[in-house]
Amino acid sequence: MALGLFSSNPNSGDPYAPPSPNNNDPSSILSQYRPLIQQFSLSSLLGYCSAVSAKRIGKTLAFIGGLAFVSLQALVHQGYISVDWKKIEQSVKEAVDTDDDGEFTEKDVQRYWERVKVFLTENIPDASGFGVGFMLGLKS
């Protein structure tokens, strides 16, 4: 057995291993994490930022939609207006149904998702990196 195979770092053969605790020099930390850092790209950063923005916009739109519904219901309750919710539901279904089957199904969601992917990754050099960053941004 050669003693050179064993070191104070228990993960010495792993390129992704954390640096040993007694060496806190930033350049040595960067050199040890270089393979992992090189995996990141501008596309993945843009994907992450896009997802965070999409989440924020989605929450804002949900808030506005909920506020509009509560406001309408308050006006209905007070007798100022009458709302035909069945007609509104039918109009919304017609607007979002992409395959004209009369229902908003998983196929419709998949078509919308494909449109979003094409829009967001158009002319991006690393679309897979963007996708990974986008998924990480959605989870954050």
Per-residue pLDDT at 25: 66
Predicted TM-score of the model (pTM): 0.59
3-state SS track over 68-122: HHHHHHHHHHHCCCCCCHHHHHHHHHHHHCCCCCCCCCHHHHHHHHHHHHHHHHC
List of the chain residues with pLDDT < 50: 1-7
| Amino acid 4: pLDDT | 47
137: amino acid identity, one letter: G
Q: Residues 6 or more apart from 127 whose CB is under 8 A from it? A: 43, 121
Would you give the DSSP letter of residue 8? Answer: S
Q: Hey, where are the domains in the chain?
A: 42-139
pLDDT of residue 58: 94
The reported pLDDT for the residue numbered 13 is 61
Torsion on CA atoms 32, 35, 37, 40, rounded to nearest 10: -170
The pair of three-digit structure tokens given for residue 25, joined into one six-digit string: 């020099």
Per-residue confidence (pLDDT) for residue 63, from 0 to 100: 97
Q: Is 47 exposed, middle or buried (0-12, 13-18, 19+ CB in 10 A)?
A: buried
Residue 121 CB-density burial (10 A; 0-12 exposed, 13-18 middle, 19+ buried): buried
Q: What is the pLDDT of residues 81-105, one digit of tens each?
A: 999 999 998 898 888 888 888 788 8
pLDDT at residue number 41: 78
